[in-house]
C-alpha cells in the first residue's frame, strides 16, 4: 500500500462488533478496502466482499503433479532404465510403489500450497509492509476505508458511519 493513499481507519476491540460493523458500513454505500485482525474471523472475508480462495484447487493440482512425478521416476528407474528381478515379482510392481508415491504427493502438495499462499499474499522474507496500525497483531480490529475509492461519500460521513458502527477510535492515515 503506497503512503500516498488516504485511509480512514475504524478501530474496533471485539470480533463480533467488527463483523457486524462491516455490513452496517457497507449498507451506507461505503466501499471497504479491507479489515485487519489479530486472528481469523469466520465469514469476515465474505462479508467484506472477497471472493472465495482458489487455493484448494492449486493444492489438488500440486498433488497430481507430485503423484505423476513420483510414479514417472519410479517406473522409469525400476522398469525401463535398470529393471531388476526382486522377489520374482513384476518389474511394474505398483503396490510396492504406493508408499513413495504417497509421500511424493504429500510433499508436492504441501510445498506447492505454501509457496502459492505466500505468492498470492505477497509474503516473502524482507517484506516490510506499511502497517496501518501496530495493534492489529495484538488486540485491535481495524477496518480500512480508501477515501479515493469512495468519491460519493464525504470523509466526515465515513467517519460518522464508523463511529456509529461501534468503532472505539477513528484515525486517518
By CB under 8 A, the residues from 69 to 98 that bind other proteins are 73-74, 77-78, 81-82, 84, 86-87, 89, 93, 96-97
User: Should residue 168 be labelled a site residue for other proteins when binding is judged by CB under 8 A?
Assistant: no
Footprint (CB under 8 A) of other proteins, residues 1-60: 14-17, 19-20, 23, 34-48, 50, 53, 55-56, 59
Is the Cβ–Cβ distance between 66 and 100 less than 8 Å? no
Beta bridge partners of 164: none
Contacting residue, 2, 3, 4, 128, with other proteins by CB under 8 A? 128
Gyration radius of the chain over CA positions: 25
Whole-angstrom distance, CA of residue 41 vs CA of residue 43: 6
C-alpha 160, offset from chain centre: 31
Measured from the CB atom, the residue of 115 and 154 that comes closer to other proteins is 115
* Smallest separation, CB 111 to other proteins (Å): 7
* Smallest separation, CB 30 to other proteins (Å): 16
Locate the DSSP E strands across 87-159: 141-146
Number of residues that bind other proteins (CB under 8 A): 72
**Nearest residue to 151 via CA among 67, 53, 62, 29:** 29
Amino acid at each position: 500500500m503506497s503512503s500516498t493513499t488516504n485511509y480512514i481507519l475504524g478501530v474496533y476491540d471485539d470480533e463480533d462488533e467488527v463483523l457486524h460493523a462491516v455490513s452496517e458500513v457497507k449498507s451506507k454505500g461505503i466501499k471497504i478496502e479491507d479489515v485487519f485482525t489479530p486472528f481469523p474471523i469466520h465469514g469476515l472475508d465474505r462479508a467484506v466482499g472477497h471472493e472465495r480462495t482458489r487455493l484448494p484447487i492449486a493444492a489438488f493440482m500440486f498433488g497430481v503433479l507430485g503423484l505423476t512425478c513420483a510414479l514417472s521416476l519410479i517406473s522409469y528407474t525400476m522398469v525401463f532404465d535398470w529393471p531388476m528381478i526382486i522377489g520374482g515379482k513384476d518389474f511394474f510392481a505398483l503396490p510396492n510403489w504406493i508408499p513413495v508415491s504417497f509421500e511424493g504427493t504429500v510433499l508436492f502438495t504441501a510445498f506447492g500450497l505454501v509457496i502459492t499462499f505466500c505468492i498470492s499474499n505477497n509474503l516473502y522474507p524482507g517484506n516490510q509492509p506499511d502497517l496501518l496500525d501496530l495493534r492489529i497483531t495484538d488486540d485491535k480490529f481495524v477496518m480500512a476505508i480508501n477515501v479515493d475509492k469512495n468519491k460519493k461519500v464525504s470523509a466526515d460521513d465515513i467517519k460518522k458511519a464508523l463511529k456509529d458502527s461501534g468503532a472505539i477510535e477513528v484515525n486517518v492515515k
